[in-house]
Structure 1
């Protein structure tokens, strides 16, 4: 967490948690277990500053793993880290081989970092985040 906040762009890590909200709680606990004498409010500010996006992967009973949620960390408000879901997996059923299938859906939320992506030369049509015409089947 400390290294992620040193001003160098581009960090990636993994953590075991059930939901994006649980990721934040788990990070708080890990910092506290490290013996750092930081108030929880300071830890939350550090987390919100260091983490931009949480990508949740879920292992289904059939053994397959799918990205089930992409969530943006948007800051801290009233002492709570604020999250914005950008995409989610919607399970539609189980096929004849008992494998989970479904589709990945946008929530309609535009990420707060959209302009930053555009400024870096990443051309991404806003319709990518639209609720209209969705339904890619992974």
Structure 2
């Protein structure tokens, strides 16, 4: 959007602003059965050179089975990584259990 406005900012500066402004990215996808599922929850960790660094915290794993309604069964699983912004999340009043990240 910055580039579309004609602002003359270097791409690296734009990426640094994005990395500083966003803590968590939630990716939603449409599954083959037509339902939408949260597929991945990732944390933005900062920058390395010109690259925004991210680490996946949770992902959705389909079990390859259908339920009685013909929808795919699945579950969220932790990657075992605790987000760096966990304290910030808790400071904002969100109750987070450390066991979620095991």
What TM-score does the superposition give when structure 2 sets the normalisation length?
0.87
Which protein is richer in strand relative to its size?
A: 2
Looking at structure 2, the residues matched to 56 and 122 of structure 1 have their Cα atoms a distance apart, in angstroms, of: 20
Question: Relative to 1, partners in 2 of residues 1:55 and 1:113: Cα closer, same or farther, differing over 3 Å?
Answer: same
Moved over 4 A (4+): none
Unpaired stretches in structure 1, ≥5 consecutive residues: 1-29, 131-138
Match for 1:102 among 53, 57, 74?
74
Which protein is richer in helix relative to its size?
A: 1
Give the superposition deviation at 1:36. 1.6
Looking at structure 1, the residues matched to 60 and 20 of structure 2 have their Cα atoms a distance apart, in angstroms, of: 26
Higher relative contact order (CA 8 A, sep 6+): 2
SS in 1 for 2:32: coil
Considering only aligned residues, what root-mean-square deviation do their CA atoms show, in Å?
1.7
Give the superposition deviation at 1:121. 4.6
- Mapped pair 1:126 → 2:88: no
SS in 2 for 1:115: helix
Looking at structure 1, the residues matched to 58 and 82 of structure 2 have their Cα atoms a distance apart, in angstroms, of: 10
- Mapped pair 1:55 → 2:15: no
What TM-score does the superposition give when structure 1 sets the normalisation length?
0.66
